Chains A and B, each alone.
Chain A
Amino acid sequence: MRRILSQIDPNSAEFRANVAHNRALVAELRARQEAARNLRPERDLERLRRQNKMFVRDRIRALLDPGTPFLELSTLAAGEAYGGEVPGAAIVSGIGIVSGREVIIHADDASVKGGAWYPLSIKKIVRTLDIAIENRLPVIHLCDSAGGFLPLQAELFGDRYLAGRIFRNQATLSKMGIPQVAVVLGHCTAGGAYVPALSEYNIIVKGTGAIFLGGPPLVKAATGEEVTVDELGGADVHTRISGTGDYPADNEMHAIAIAREIVSTFPKRDKAILNWKEPEPPAYDPLELYGIIPRDIKTQFDMREIIARLVDGSRFHEYQPAFGTTLICGYAHIWGCPVGILANNGVLFNDSTLKGTHFMQLCDQNRIPVLFLQNITGFMVGRDYEHRGITKDGAKMIMAVTGLEVPKLTVIVNGSFGAGNYGMSGRAFDPRFLFMWPQSQISVMGAEQAAGVLTEVKVRQMARHGQTLSAEDIAAIREPILAEYKRQSSAYYSTSEIWDDGILDPADTRNALGMALSAACNAAGGDPRYGVFRM
């Protein structure tokens, strides 16, 4: 397969200015991640030590096979919510290797609000279990939660995808034959009690671990019975008397060692049959991505330059290179795994839309996972294009992206605006994983255009009431609208709301995709089957 020949000049002023800009963005990302992972008030860490508990990161380190990679997901969830006081939504989630098996981990972070579940914590756990279901990954739960955060109970309990979904997903995994291990390292109260109860295996740490539907204060209020934590739902009670727990552990390290031993008994399952190749690093340094991603989201760039820095050997077989040139389609390998790539190189026209639809069906037919690289301002608008059926062609693309049976992965490389997000496998289309780059933006339309529309509406409203506005008045209306719109379009907002599975350093994207593909290949997808394409 041919190498892409890069047209980039790494010595140009433009390249160097981009590098400086993007390195600063990556430094900010790293700083935010470091804070979300490790920065805690001393009193919270002190409380953990007093309780004889390990910090969640140390627990995960002890659990994983040394020297293996850990793909952490949604590190910055809730980063823009709850006044920034619930880093990571008080949950750590990620894919790693335990006793030589690929697993996904859900770990409560008791150093944040005692591990209380906020609405976004619930969303993050449900997403973690959705990933387990879609990619057939065994789950390890590290349980240490104070329970649902009561002041926000209305936002975390009643609806379809809220707290109950955690347990529905656990039961679904079990039905699919995908095992779960729960390690009870703190209290599992009320709904949280079902996490270990619904796991195939659970381990309780003596003294600190406990499982009960109602804790001692609630029991006293309900029936007047006075009972200690240990008598009510400690390790002895559940592993000797009730049978709710399986293995007692003397301390956390003991519990984690037992968990690793349990995982070592899991059968290793075959991955999708694909023509894996010996992995080869890209011929162009992925660090050069910093010089290619433009400083202004409006500036167009050639997505082949991005592909050249993500795929094995920078080798890319481009399909229909002369047709529908605003959508690049073609085959490549990432860490040895074959992928079909759809990458935006401009607005989607009728021809590029049809090419993308056709190419997706080819990938499905060949059983090759599909990678979407989004930089999309939308489908082309205007009379000519409507007459040629741009809406109906877009509908075909959405039909194909929804129907795809092979795994889909999406990276929002730059802009993700409007219906283009749908055609290019946005979150609603169930890509197995969706990642964003730090400078990327996602919204129904661009910030400037939206702020223009919203301001215009307001100005007309006021004009109807006889008010005339000066240029300054209009600017005073527009500026806050624009600022809020920009905040809500940013990658940090998206990742805070868990619209994605995390923000990636562009230079790390290849590694993250390698792990994501490996996980996705546990579930190949069924035979190709589609809805009706409007011709």
Chain B
Amino acid sequence: MRHGLENNGVIQDVFLSPVPGGFCLHANGREALIVLEGETQGYLALAIDGEDCEVRYAIAGAEIFLHLDGRHFHFKHHEPVRRFASTETGETNAAARAPMPGTVVRIAAQAGAAVAAGDAILVIESMKLETTIRAWRDGIVEAVHVTEGATFERGMLLVSLVEDA
């Protein structure tokens, strides 16, 4: 599986395979022999198909910044598993259900309140653990289906969100 490198909104498939004396770069339907000739922090001396070049680079998470032949490049690395996943989280869910039996400790956002993803809506306690149920996306609290101090069974509806109108 090739890696995706995004530059100016276009994702290119690239892959580096080890070969004797260096690496083979597979990109754009072509292959190039890359030899690493020198390396220090943020600097590479390379020979690409026999042609010497010097690259300065910085990597911040998935962002890659390159300086080569007086030009700047900005790439974004797309990890294959994330790239091809259609949903990383269950963002489309409209409601949160109780993961286990427990009690409601506190309700932080009432019906009608606007919440941003990550805002606390209610705090539950079960098996000596307090868990905060947070907004899983931006929206309006449609209803909190429990009251403070109430006990609930596993799978019971706790809170539902609707899209911000």
A interface vs B, CB < 8 Å? Answer: 2-3, 7, 9, 283, 296, 298-300, 325-326, 346-347, 349, 377-378, 380-382, 384, 415, 417, 446, 448-449
Contacts and interface: CB of A to CB of B under 8 A. Distances in A.
Contacts of B131: 300, 346
Contact of A296 (B62, B127, B130): B130
Q: Which 6 A-B pairs have the closest CB atoms?
A: A300-B131, A347-B127, A298-B130, A377-B128, A446-B128, A377-B127
Nearest to A9: B118
A380 B130 contact: no
Contact of B132 (A300, A378, A384, A415): A300
21 contacts: A3-B61, A9-B118, A283-B61, A298-B125, A298-B128, A299-B129, A300-B131, A346-B100, A346-B129, A346-B131, A347-B129, A349-B100, A377-B127, A377-B129, A378-B128, A380-B127, A415-B128, A417-B128, A446-B128, A448-B128, A449-B128
A9 B116 CA distance: 13
B101 interface: yes
B79 interface: yes
Q: Is the interface of A mostly helix, strand, loop or mixed?
A: loop
Given A283-B61, A384-B154, A2 B79 contact: yes
B149 interface: no
Given A2-B82, A346-B100, A347-B129, 20 more contacts: A2-B81, A3-B61, A7-B118, A298-B125, A298-B128, A299-B130, A325-B99, A326-B99, A346-B129, A347-B126, A377-B128, A378-B127, A378-B128, A380-B100, A380-B127, A381-B127, A415-B128, A417-B128, A446-B128, A449-B128
Q: Is the interface of B mostly helix, strand, loop or mixed?
A: loop
Nearest to B132: A300
Contacts, number: 47
A283 B132 CA distance: 26
Interface residues of B, number: 18
B81 A382 contact: no
B76 to A, nearest CB: 13
A300 B130 contact: yes
A518 to B, nearest CB: 25
Nearest to A12: B118
Interface in B45-101: 61-62, 79, 81-82, 99-101
A473 to B, nearest CB: 27
A514 B25 CA distance: 33
A382 B82 contact: no
A326 B154 CA distance: 14
Nearest to B131: A300
B61 A300 contact: no
